[in-house]
Amino acid sequence: MKLLEGKNYFSNIGLLVPEVLLPNDSVDLSKWACIACDQYTSSSDYWQNYYSFVGSAPSAANLILPEICLSRPVSLRGERQTMSVSDRISAINTTMDKYLSDGTLGKTFEGLIYVERTLPDGKVRSGFIAALDLEQYEFKKGANSLIRPTEETVKERIPSRLQIRENAPLELPHSITLVDDVPNGICGFLSSRKTRAVELYNFDLEGGAGSIAGYGISDFNTISSVAAMLIDLKKDNSLYFIGDGNHSFAAAKEHWERLKRNGAPMNHPARFILTEIESMHDPAIVLEPIHRVVFNCDFERFTGLFRDFFKGQTAFWQEYEDAASVRDINQFLAENSVSLDYSVIVIVSGIRTLCLYLDKRAYPFPVAAMTDFIDFMLPDAKVDYVHGTEDAFILTEGGFATAICLPRPSKREIFNIAYSGRILPRKTFSMGDADTKRFYVESRKIR
């Protein structure tokens, strides 16, 4: 990898024009592409069905560690017995080497890749693939770096990703990095150059998740124009905000810092991370809350702790004995979150529902209030972070778990917090529902 200022590397925006690896033409891309590893973390059925669909075909699913494997032993790919996390990671690294040596990843492209993701509702979300400089990224609170996180990291999620990266010849991105491009001008510009680009892939995604197309852009004038537009978006030395994949960035940063301490040169490929860059203001990007599901906590105990924690004049609640009263939780949250004074949170367990109203002056960010409640009142509870109210609701059937369903966050509020150097609580928001998350398609050598 060469670092040629103004040719393939733009230091003032921390952007490297990457050399990307793609599957050869004989690979079935619908089986190759795999949804982000941090989805369906409580649904072993999803992952078992997916690996059954893939079968023995080459797939990015064989190069990633689904996070469901971190929470409990599961059997995937028709395994007769469960595998340890270490064994799975070893298998991942071995498969990466195999795909490189046998030509599975036989196509290379050096340039930016303009991506159009058609979502299940027909909307098209656009972005472009590039590599960003980890030297210009920090994930600590108060960081004044060019590339910044939007949320706290869950420390327990980093070691496994770091372990994969330590011995991996490849990286596969599921991260989406956001820029404050109000008119979505960069992707609009790239879209206008699409007919001059090379179509690298165009196929339907599995599971009704829509479709995806990628167009390779190697023209230096076009790339330079993108760089110039990114420079115009810089504000107070900040430019990029990680919308999805905070833990992937954090693990890549830790890996790079270790390599540096061991004498790695500054042009080492692991200094950079592949990501898709999108405008936060793309109309197809809808921020969804990430709900909390607390397991093995009796609802009476839960609500008792809840009332103790939120007592006073800044909160009140209403309980419904029949969950049908708020059956459509999304609609209920939307209709009751428009108040300028209060935010509404829906607590569900079995057929019982509690609605909590928080004074926005005391609790400006409901997710922060819920995170504090769980950390202080239920420090030993098993908590899962779930995308979608329906999936959260299903986990509470029978009353064995309690779901905390949160309202949708504001795009502008999130950006204002990120600009200030503050970080939102872990797992605050999701860029769309689970089936609209980014799929693994591209890869890049890091060894």
Tell me: the pLDDT tens digits for 72-102? 777 777 665 678 888 899 999 999 999 999 9
The gap between the terminal CA atoms of the chain, to the nearest Å, is 11
Domain annotation covers residue 333: yes
What is the residue-averaged pLDDT of the chain? 87
Q: Is residue 379 part of a domain?
A: yes
In a domain, 133, yes or no: yes
Residues 166 and 308 in one domain: no
DSSP-based three-state secondary structure for 201: strand
What percent of the chain is modeled with pLDDT above 90? 51
What pLDDT shows up at residue 351? 76
Mean pLDDT on 62-79: 81
**Residue 345 shares a structural domain with residue 402:** yes
293 in the same domain as 190: no
Domain-located, residue 304: yes
> What pLDDT does 222 receive?
96
Q: Which residues lie below 8 Å from residue 76, measured CB to CB, with a gap of 6+?
A: 44, 47, 48, 51, 66, 69, 83
* Lookup: tokens for 441: 């398609």
Number of domains in the chain: 2
Per-residue model confidence (pLDDT) at position 333: 65
> Do 216 and 306 reside in the same domain of the chain?
no
Most confident of 76-90, 328-342, 345-359, 363-377: 363-377
Query: Quick one: 298 and 261 in the same domain?
Result: no
Q: Are residues 231 and 247 in the same domain?
A: yes
Per-residue pLDDT at 323 exceeds 60: no
The tokens of 390 are what? 């329906």
Percent of the chain scoring above 70 in pLDDT: 92
For residues 206 and 54, give the distance between their C-alpha atoms in angstroms, rounded to a whole number.
10
Residue-wise pLDDT tens digits, 211-223: 999 999 999 999 9
pLDDT tens-digit readout, 126-164: 999 999 999 999 887 767 899 998 888 777 778 888 999
- Which is higher by pLDDT, 409 or 95? 95
The three-state secondary structure class of 327 is coil
Considering the entire predicted model, what is its pTM?
Answer: 0.86
The pLDDT value recorded for residue 180 is 92
**412 located within any domain:** no
The pLDDT of residue 322:
56
In this structure, are 121 and 191 located in the same domain?
Answer: yes
**Are residues 378 and 250 part of one domain?**
no
Q: Are strands 19-22 and 107-110 parallel, antiparallel or unpaired?
A: antiparallel
383 and 271 co-located in one domain: no
Range of the domain at 343: 289-407
Say yes or no: 348 and 439 in one domain: no
Q: Is residue 190 assigned to a domain?
A: yes
Q: How many CB atoms lie within 10 A of CB 352?
A: 18
Decide if 419 is inside a domain: no
- Asked whether residue 388 is domain-assigned, the answer is yes
Same domain, 293 and 281: no
Q: Greater confidence, 77 or 252?
A: 252
Q: Which pLDDT score is estimated for 7?
A: 66
Query: Do 218 and 299 fall into the same domain?
Result: no
- Quickly state the pLDDT bin for 337 (edges 50, 70, 90): low
The rounded distance, in Å, linking the Cα atoms of 322 and 353 is: 7
Asked which of 1-5, 192-196, 323-327 is least confident by mean pLDDT, the reply is 323-327
- Count of C-beta atoms within a 10 Å radius of residue 364: 13
- Both structure tokens of 32: 């190759």
The band of 63, judged by pLDDT with boundaries at 50, 70 and 90, is very high
User: How large is the greatest C-alpha to C-alpha distance in the chain, in angstroms?
Assistant: 66
Q: Which of 79-88, 359-368, 380-389 has the lowest mean pLDDT?
A: 79-88
